[in-house]
Amino acid sequence: MNITTMRWWIIFCASMFMLAILAVKGLLFKLWGIDQSHIAVLTLGCYLAISSYIGWLTYKLTTLSHKDPQYLQLRSHVQPCWLSSELLMGLGMIGTLIGFILMTGSALSSFNPADAGAAKMVIINTSGSISTAIITTLTGLASSLLVKIQMSNLGIALENDDEESF
């Protein structure tokens, strides 16, 4: 295993270790319950798929010869992987907006300032919607950053290979 693939493996294992800790502590199930849109779980699933693909791509691109036709074909997959990090960020932002829509739509439509019980329910509903917004934002940001780190690792290796081939 070359150094670039080893760095990807360390990044991937560290993220899996963090997910395992969250799962053992029961936080992934809480995530599912708190996130009313379930976009955070979708984002994590997309991150796992994208990260696995980046690992495979890293391995293949760093082991193939530059003259191999498969190398050139796989090299064209690098740019869409960069785009995937932006899509993960976008999923987080969509979840944020859904959280705000849930907060303003359902919570404030039934608000009666004269009824203390209704005001209490508005606060409870609002806090759940804010949790959705924050969790989806955090998941989108974290997964996007991890994908960017993996792609930077691959990009550095490809730049070094390009310089050596001239």
The DSSP code sequence of 49-82 is HHHHHHHHHHHHHHHS-TTSHHHHHHHTTHHHHH
pLDDT band at 141 (very low <50, low <70, confident <90, very high): very high
Give tens-digit pLDDT for 146-156: 999 999 999 99
Residue 163 lies in a domain: no
Give tens-digit pLDDT for 86-122: 999 999 999 999 888 887 776 566 666 677 776 677 7
pLDDT band at 166 (very low <50, low <70, confident <90, very high): very low
Q: What is the pTM of this model?
A: 0.83
Cβ of 137: how many Cβ atoms within 10 Å? 19
Residue 165 lies in a domain: no
Give tens-digit pLDDT for 28-42: 888 888 888 889 999
In whole angstroms, give the CA distance from residue 26 to residue 69: 47
Per DSSP, the three-state class of 166 is coil
Residue 164 lies in a domain: no
Task: List, in order, residues 6 or more apart from 40 with CB less than 8 Å away.
Answer: 31, 95, 135, 136, 138, 139
